[in-house]
Amino acid sequence: MRLSRSFLPTLRETPKEAEIVSHRLMLRAGLIRQQSAGIYSWLPLGQKVLSNIQRIVREEQDRAGAVEILMPTLQSADLWRESGRYDDYGKEMLRIQDRQEREMLYGPTNEEMVTDIFRSYVRSYKELPLNLYHIQWKFRDELRPRFGVMRGREFLMKDAYSFDIDEASARRAYNRMFVAYLRTFDRLGVKAIPMRADSGPIGGDATHEFIVLASTGESAVFLDKAALDTPVPGDDIDFYGDLTPIVAAWTEKYAATEEMHDKAVFEALPEENRVEARGIEVGQVFYFGTKYSEPMGAKVTGPDGVEHAVHMGSYGIGVSRLVAAIIEASHDEAGIIWPESIAPYKVGLINLKVGDAATDLACDQLYERLTKAGIEVLYDDVEGRAGAKFATMDLIGLPWQLIVGPKGLERGEVELKQRATGDRESISVDAAVAKLLGSS
């Protein structure tokens, strides 16, 4: 993408209303714009990151056997009356009346609707296990929306729902999502640790939160250092095999949010293993048995010929929140440092002297070559001071900067800078291209 044809409105000033670093950087780097309290537009760079995150989330859900659907944002109040949550949910639920005065709501989550879909079609245990997920906008009418997309009102969530004939099978479904989450966050370039959690209004007796570690995180967390070194399963993981050992390797190590913290257990760890850190919740997995299937009549005939209410779980990832969480975990004084897997572009190509024929030609050729090789390049082809160009590239945090100016070109060289380390080297054009093509 040529900068001259794009729309990247960065801000020089730090917006006063932004209290946390990710919110400040998202505004400054032109990722989002607030439209109303807790409601944001995603500008081009933000939209690209959001879409890259969705791609990875989707790939890992599919790999784990979850099946994608797409439920609407608006739901009927009647469905929520069946589960008893319509009255329980309180003011965070945005209640709406349509022109026929039907009571509707903007879905804050989808347990009821997906249970309704399930009961409409599935009759036999032979069609199980089943896990349906979608990635859709949700709304929670927070009293005090703040911290940008970290605690917005309209937010993008991936939510999956598993249906099984009995608890044992439901626990396997839970484990598949648990492992899928380990892999998802790992691919997103963040360290996310599953921690025992409180089940809250969704209910259920088994639940873990996945917490991204970031020094600026919202809550204190306590963990066994060994959790940090537990390996994440690779691409070759068999989701239909026994995942218990993998899950156990994580859950056996102490890791808890402040809410669930057990001081005695933590202090029984060897001192050098006690890690106190801060974190941000980016996902949660629940097993809640027949809490919804029982009142809503989601039953299947079992091998015994008898009807059973299905055992369910739900599994959420805060997709829009993740953009902020990743920035909290990966930034410096100068700006964002995107993990390569979700960066809006891999390379920022900086033309230091727009209008100089040789520099323009070299840049155009590099842009063409890299783009043709399938590398996403943001090409700064706009007139401007070198200092401002560098500052903008650092701010928006693309993994690589390729800096091209007349002086270097006289020696046949360009400069390649890695954003994360700050390492710079002057190398030949071909060597730069080879390095960019070679890096993961």
Interface residue list for a copy of itself (CB under 8 A)? 5-7, 9, 30, 33, 35-37, 39-44, 46-48, 50, 65, 67-76, 79, 91-92, 94, 96, 98-100, 102, 104, 106, 113, 116-117, 120-122, 127, 130, 132, 134, 137, 139, 141, 143, 153-154
143 or 357: whose CB is closer to a copy of itself?
143
Report the nearest approach of a copy of itself to the CB of residue 259 (Å): 25
For 296-340, strand residue ranges (E) read 299-301, 307-309, 311-318, 331-332, 335-336
Report the nearest approach of a copy of itself to the CB of residue 404 (Å): 22
CB atoms near residue 174 (< 10 Å)? 26
Report the nearest approach of a copy of itself to the CB of residue 74 (Å): 6
Q: Which among 69, 113, 158, 78 is positioned nearest to 312, based on CA atoms?
A: 113
CA atoms of 32 and 156, how far apart (whole Å): 14
Q: Which among 326, 47, 39, 20 is positioned nearest to 155, based on CA atoms?
A: 39
256 or 296: whose CB is closer to a copy of itself?
296
128 or 227: whose CB is closer to a copy of itself?
128
Q: Which among 343, 361, 404, 366 is positioned nearest to 46, based on CA atoms?
A: 343
For 73-187, strand residue ranges (E) read 74-76, 94-97, 103-106, 130-139, 154-164
Report the nearest approach of a copy of itself to the CB of residue 41 (Å): 5
Question: Mapping DSSP to helix (H, G, I), strand (E, B) and coil, where does residue 227 land?
Answer: helix
118 or 266: whose CB is closer to a copy of itself?
118
Report the nearest approach of a copy of itself to the CB of residue 5 (Å): 6
Taking a C-beta distance cutoff of 8 angstroms, is the pair 415, 426 a contact?
yes
Report the nearest approach of a copy of itself to the CB of residue 72 (Å): 5
7 or 262: whose CB is closer to a copy of itself?
7
124 or 244: whose CB is closer to a copy of itself?
124
CA atoms of 2 and 150, how far apart (whole Å): 30
Q: Which among 155, 204, 158, 156 is positioned nearest to 66, based on CA atoms?
A: 158
* Residue 324 host element (H or E): helix 319-329
Report the nearest approach of a copy of itself to the CB of residue 79 (Å): 8
Tokens of 425: 């080297």
Q: What φ, ψ does residue 410 adopt, rounded to 5°?
A: -60, -35
Report the nearest approach of a copy of itself to the CB of residue 413 (Å): 31
46 or 289: whose CB is closer to a copy of itself?
46
36 or 421: whose CB is closer to a copy of itself?
36
In DSSP terms, 256 is beta-bridged to: 196, 222
